[in-house]
Structure 1
Amino acid sequence: MTAFDAIIIGAGQAGPSLAGRLSEAGRKVAIIERKHVGGTCVNTGCKPTKTLVASAYAARLARRGAEYGVVLDSPVRIDMPAVIRRAHQVTLDSRQGTETWLEGMVNTTLIRGHARFEDPRTVRVGDDLLTAPQIFLNVGGRATIPDLPGIADIPVLTNSDMVMLDRVPEHLIVIGGSYIGLEFAQMFRRFGARVTVIEKGPHLVGREDEEISEAIRGILEAEGITVVTGADDIRFAKRGRDIRVQASAARPEVIGTDVLLAVGRRPNTDDLGLEEAGVARDSHGYITVDDHLKTTAEGIWALGDCNGRGAFTHTAYNDFEIVAANLLDGEDRKLSDRLLGYALYIDPPLGRVGMSERQARASGRPVQVSHVPMTKVGRAVEKGETQGLMKLVADAETRQILGAAILGTGGDEAIHGVLDLMNAGATTDQLRWAVPIHPTVSEFWPSVVLGLS
């Protein structure tokens, strides 16, 4: 049995950074990874998908060249193997960079293999037993495969498969109208596929306000994507080489060549022997943690997607920051202090922070709302990208900024002007009197404040 000061299971976004801080503090650390370091973000998530989004954007812009006075002599052609090679190289560079970093840590040992608990302080990896007084779980998640009628009879794709797909499907059917599904739907439409999105709920990206959801739908439909909502009885069947998808009894079936399942994710917690360590999970398999990311077992923490308290790379990294600050810096950082922001990387992207209007009104407080179409934003007009809107939600009495959304060009960046002020506790009055740079998308936030009512 080999003794360490700390064991980290999983080398996603939180694990390597935590290993680095613990190693710098003189702790002897083992970090265990059964597949690729970097987790979902590097291997099947952010890195490859946003690289593919960039290629799809380039294809779209090339086709629009004449609008800008740039005329191509022949139609745009997609070299899908080259597109995928570029995405793979971005992933490989990031993965190798993380591996080199980990292997260079003086007090850290990178161990390859599958880890399982033997007891609250002991982990088995193959024939080796490791022990430590502190254990950190950063095991991530994977795509959910729903038990839908006929699904066992057809080939299906997940996000992990899509980032490896070096061909353009003739007709891609996307099951699930939320963040992952819509990003792949738009990019593959731009690569040349026919695309149909089938969503169970009444709106796409159901957590957003209805006007945002409907604006997203309009953007996708304008590019030729078919959107089906209210799919209350999804069924699958083979039809020769094709796949039949029935969305509901009242709708005609959709015939496609490929099916992408994008209906959610599940944590990788079902094969860790958590019961041997006394680590509790909820009904969805997520590890139960308190406000400091401690599990129900003393000396064991859970970080990242596996704890169900955030489904993003930046929230996983913030989990690391919270744990490291509390254990090594004598601070008292909490999950409940975190202000959530995120983005949907269709084009134009959606940047979001804080409460939606629906959430704010449900809280019972007096609410002011302002929304402005991107056609009013000079920078968007100059770029020829005027789809979408900007939206701000505030407390009518305290002037506290409650939330914001920008569905528009540069929205994933421009949202940070509001996000940073919210983190600083600023009010709408302070946002109103900011002097932003012209011409930018962000400069319009003070004008959005003026529309609050």
Structure 2
Amino acid sequence: MKHYDAVVIGSGQAGTPLSRKLAQSGKKTALIERRFAGGTCVNDGCSPTKAMIASAKAAWVARNSSKLGVSASDIKIDFETIRDRKDEIVKSMRGSLEKGFAGTENLEVIYGDAHFSGEKEITISLNDGGSEVVSGELIFINTGLSPVIPDIPGIQEIHYLTSTSILDIEDIPEHLLILGSGYIGLEFGQMFSRFGSKVTIIEPSERIMKHEDEDIAAEITKILAEENIEILINSKVTAFTRNEEKILAKIKKHDQEHSFEYSHILIATGRKPNTDRLSLDVAGVELDDKGFIVVNDSLETSAKGIYALGDIKGGMAFTHISYDDYRVVAANVIDKKQSTIKGRQQPYCMFIDPQLGRIGMTEQDARDEGLDIDVYTIKNDSVARSIETGNTRGMMKAVVDKKSGKILGAAVLAEQGGEVVTILELAIMGGITFDKLRDGIFAHPTYAESLNNLFMSKPH
């Protein structure tokens, strides 16, 4: 058995920088990775999907440029080039991480599948054959999530796609059925629609994006409908069958059931924690009822000296949250400081087009808590920069505490929405009241300048 000062399981956006910093601090460190350096974000998440979304955006701009006096005829989608560009980006980012690992003293990278075989003991089934047993004084788990495959009759008899496998398909789907209307479903749906697929998104609830305010969800629904993306709400697939080269999906809406043919099926019904293969009970690590690792505000588990970072601990599953988990753990374990995840800001951005940037509370959150609020909204057809660029889709919204004037949350559904909402996050971080933004001087004409107009609107 090899003994280490620290063992990190998973090289995601927390595990990668943490393993290097632990090693650089003088700790003998092992980093165990089952697949590729970089985890989901680099290999089949943020980086490859946003690269392909950029190609889809270019296609949309070309098709919609005539109103600006520019006609782009004979638009061709070269899907092979799109995939090759995506692959090169992934290869470059992964290679950079691997180079960083190799150049870090005290760090050993082990590729294999890990599970606990003792309280601080880990057995690794090595990718190149055989096994290895290691132990560590400190252990950090960053194993992420994987797609949930719903138990639908016939689903194992068809060739369905996940957010991972769809990145490697060779041809653009003729008709893509997407189960689920979350971030994965909507981003891939709009992307492939712009590549030329007919897209149908199925959602069992009464509307998409139930975690967002109803007006934001309605605006997104309108934008997708304008791109001829079909959204079936109050609907669910009850069975799949293979029909020669097509897939037959039996869809139930209310009490009526109909069958439709599709060329491809994308499962985007959620993700589950990769805890089932870790044998965490052996280590005394507690899980919640959904299989996520239970942690305290310092990200330590129920087993002393074992920590969980990133998506595996539940909560918001975003790369930047995982990276902040690394900062919290590194501050506590290496720098001996008192750092916590309690009360931290958790911004996010959905990369449909236009982007949805979000920070803080929704209007519904605030009303559910009984807060006394003002809600400011403005449509982008009133924003000078949007009008000038010919892209007036979407809206902006902010929730403000009526008494203090502090911003509680915001949604920016707009071109560069993720960048604009960052200004509102900075205001929240600094305790800057809404009137300071209303009366602030911003360069003209910019999207940021629209914050003046947002807070000059009549609140409700």
Task: Identify whether the pair has TM-score above 0.5, normalized to the shorter chain.
Answer: yes
Q: Deviations over 1:168-195 (max 9, x none)?
A: 1110011101110010000101101111
Matched, 1:206 2:205: no
Aligned-residue offset at 1:45: 0.5
Matched, 1:89 2:88: yes
Matched, 1:190 2:189: no
**Farther off after superposition, 187-196 or 125-134:** 125-134
What letter matches 2:171 in structure 1? Answer: R
C-alpha distance in structure 2 between counterparts of 1:340 and 1:377, whole Å = 27
Aligned-residue offset at 1:233: 5.5
C-alpha distance in structure 2 between counterparts of 1:136 and 1:9, whole Å = 6
C-alpha distance in structure 2 between counterparts of 1:146 and 1:344, whole Å = 24
Q: Which residue of 1 aligns with 2:414?
A: 408
Q: Deviations over 1:35-88 (max 9, x none)?
A: 10101100110000000100000111111232222223x421111111111111
**SS of match in other structure, 2:67:** helix
Aligned-residue offset at 1:204: 1.1
C-alpha distance in structure 1 between counterparts of 2:259 and 2:224, whole Å = 21
Aligned-residue offset at 1:438: 1.7
C-alpha distance in structure 2 between counterparts of 1:339 and 1:326, whole Å = 19
Q: Which residue of 2 aligns with 1:434?
A: 440
**Equivalences for residues 90-105 of structure 1 within 5 A:** 90-105=89-104
**8 Å contact kept, 1:170–1:194:** yes
**8 Å contact kept, 1:154–1:243:** yes
**Equivalences for residues 96-245 of structure 1 within 5 A:** 96-126=95-125, 127-232=131-236, 234-245=238-249
Q: Relative to 1, partners in 2 of residues 1:391 and 1:258: Cα closer, same or farther, differing over 3 Å?
A: same
Q: TM-score, normalised by structure 2?
A: 0.95
Pick the structure with more strand per residue: 2
**8 Å contact kept, 2:202–2:236:** no
**Farther off after superposition, 196-205 or 19-28:** 19-28
What letter matches 2:53 in structure 1? Answer: V
C-alpha distance in structure 2 between counterparts of 1:197 and 1:233, whole Å = 11
C-alpha distance in structure 1 between counterparts of 2:25 and 2:340, whole Å = 22
Query: Which of 378, 381, 390 is the matching residue for 1:372?
Result: 378
Aligned-residue offset at 1:440: 1.1
Aligned-residue offset at 1:310: 2.4
**8 Å contact kept, 1:173–1:258:** yes
Aligned-residue offset at 1:229: 0.6
C-alpha distance in structure 2 between counterparts of 1:434 and 1:10, whole Å = 45
Q: Which residue of 1 aligns with 2:70?
A: 70
**Farther off after superposition, 18-27 or 249-258:** 249-258
**8 Å contact kept, 2:9–2:33:** yes
**Farther off after superposition, 155-164 or 326-335:** 326-335
C-alpha distance in structure 1 between counterparts of 2:21 and 2:444, whole Å = 40
C-alpha distance in structure 2 between counterparts of 1:311 and 1:353, whole Å = 14
Aligned-residue offset at 1:420: 1.4
**8 Å contact kept, 1:370–1:449:** yes
**8 Å contact kept, 1:310–1:316:** no
Aligned-residue offset at 1:228: 0.5
Where structure 2 has 5 or more consecutive residues not aligned to the other structure, the ranges are 126-130
Aligned-residue offset at 1:235: 2.9
What letter matches 1:34 in structure 2? Answer: R
Q: Relative to 1, partners in 2 of residues 1:166 and 1:3: Cα closer, same or farther, differing over 3 Å?
A: same
Q: Which residue of 2 aligns with 1:262?
A: 268
C-alpha distance in structure 1 between counterparts of 2:339 and 2:219, whole Å = 37
**Equivalences for residues 261-280 of structure 1 within 5 A:** 261-280=267-286
What letter matches 2:21 in structure 1? Answer: R
Where structure 1 has 5 or more consecutive residues not aligned to the other structure, the ranges are none
Q: Which residue of 1 aligns with 2:128?
A: none
**Farther off after superposition, 419-428 or 256-265:** 419-428
Q: Which residue of 2 aligns with 1:398?
A: 404
**SS of match in other structure, 1:5:** strand
C-alpha distance in structure 1 between counterparts of 2:169 and 2:86, whole Å = 11
Number of residue-to-residue matches in the alignment: 452
**SS of match in other structure, 2:164:** helix
Q: Which residue of 2 aligns with 1:41?
A: 41
Q: Which residue of 2 aligns with 1:328?
A: 334
Aligned-residue offset at 1:358: 0.4
**8 Å contact kept, 1:173–1:195:** yes
C-alpha distance in structure 2 between counterparts of 1:356 and 1:318, whole Å = 23
